[in-house]
Structure 1
Amino acid sequence: MSAEPDLASVAALAGHWAADTTACTATFQVRDKLVTTVRGSFPVTGGSAVVRPDGDIGGSWVELDVAGVATGNARRDRDLHKPTFLHLDDHPVVRVEIERAALASHGWTGGGVVRARGEQAPVDLTVVLLERRADEVRAKVTGKLDRRPLGIRVPSLVIGRFLDLDVELTLRRVDRQ
């Protein structure tokens, strides 16, 4: 988006949008053992966004499949399934929710929550519109997650406390508001 959002254009986005999960990606990165960065991804299994008539975003979410986590290291991926980390057996989905994001000069910013392993953690999220067509948009959602509120108690010397989140969504219009 430009430095100043086109309010008429943003108002045209008002409505309910559903994720095309075949065209979405969810990635993360976290520091590993003080010297390297681990990058990984999750399959996106669902998602929805609501743009209000005033241009704000609310009641939006994306779900990620824990079983499909991929870091390029099979052992690490199996470890992430264990109760110490994401606890796949009891909690097969990670859900990222945007409670409300206000229109800003570069997109939208607002508070959200990550729900994983039966816990939840607050996260500040930024949403940027990448591409817009009549009834389809591409958007990028980014945030920095503190894993501690999720109950992941691995020492920060082993795995960094903060994860960078990056979700690229293709959304199709369901209805207008």
Structure 2
Amino acid sequence: MSAPAILELPVRGAYRVAPTRSEARFRARGLFGHTVRGTIPIRSGSVTIRDGRAEVTAELDLAAVATGNRRRDKDLRSPRLLDVARFPSITYTGTFAQERSSVRGTLTVHGESVSTTLDVREVHRHPGGVDVVATTRVDRREFGVTAAPWVIQSYIDVELAVAFVPYED
């Protein structure tokens, strides 16, 4: 894993997530030590920058969680685990300050909100916007997802690859 990126924010600006170019990738240890990998689309989000601080929001679409195994995906969406019928999305709100390389905020999964820090690993500016990669590790038990501890480990590593584009005037 690379070291955190140092990001110099513009003084002002408003960006939205480009959903077709953004996703959360996750991995966890599964049964017999193999690694389960998957993705969750980032449905929407925004970044508003003012005076060296950025306010960040994001919503992820749990109904579209994908691991490459339909049976496993169905099980993940079931009431036993993520209960997508009751909790169809994951949300994040946070603040990035110029003096650090992380976003501190609140992650809400399965109806539970937990303080979570995203470490910014990569930042690529280009004429069409900004691409960011950030990582975190979450403990699914903190969100009330406690079923099948022998099948899925408690800690989930998450990498967010997010494309931000300016809001249209």
User: Normalising by structure 1, what TM-score?
Assistant: 0.82
| Corresponding position: 1:103 with 2:98 | yes
Residue 61 (1) aligns with residue 54 (2): no
Q: 1:70-119: per-residue Cα shift (whole Å, max 9, x none)? A: 00111110011112211111111111222x22335xx7213222212211
Residues 105-134 of structure 1: CA distance to partner in whole angstroms, max 9, x if unpaired? xx7213222212211222221124431124
Distance 1:155 1:103, change over 3 A: farther
Verify the 8 A CA contact 1:16 1:173 in the aligned structure 2: yes
What residue is the counterpart of 2:108 in the other structure? 115
Structure 2 vs 1, CA of residues 175 and 103 (structure 1 numbering), >3 Å: closer, same or farther? farther
Matched-pair contact (CA < 8 Å) for 1:126–1:143: yes
For the residues of structure 2 that align with 1:77 and 1:5, how far apart are their CA atoms? Answer: 36
Q: Per the alignment, do residues 35 and 13 of structure 1 end up closer, same or farther by CA in structure 2, a change over 3 Å counting?
A: farther
1:173 aligned to 160, 166, 169, which one?
A: 166
Offset of residue 149 of structure 1: 1.6
Q: Deviations over 1:20-79 (max 9, x none)?
A: 11111211011112511100001221011122312x322x12211111110011111001
Structure 2 counterpart of 1:158 = 151
Cross-structure match for 2:124: 131
**CA distance 1:79–1:3, change in 2 (3 Å):** closer
Residue in 2 aligned with 1:50? 48
> Which residue type is aligned with residue 159 of structure 2?
D
Calculate percent identity across the aligned residue pairs. Answer: 28
| Counterpart pick for 2:27 among 17, 29, 36 | 29
Q: Select 1:149's aligned residue among 120, 134, 142.
A: 142
Aligned to 1:67, what secondary structure does the other structure show?
helix
Cα pair distance change 1:88/1:102, threshold 3 Å: same
Compared CA separation, residues 13 and 167, structure 1 to 2 (3 A): farther
Structure 1 unmatched ranges of 5 or more: none
Structure 2: stretches of 5+ with no match in the other structure:
none
Distance 2:28 2:5 in 1: 33
Could you tell me whether the CA contact under 8 Å between 2:125 and 2:131 is conserved in 1? yes
Question: Which residue pairs with 2:72 in the alignment?
Answer: 76
Residues of 2 paired with 1:33 and 1:84: CA distance?
17
Please give the alpha-carbon distance, in whole angstroms, between the structure 2 residues aligned to 1:13 and 1:34: 50
SS of equivalent residue, structure 2 residue 14: strand
Query: What's the secondary structure of 1:159's corresponding residue?
Result: coil
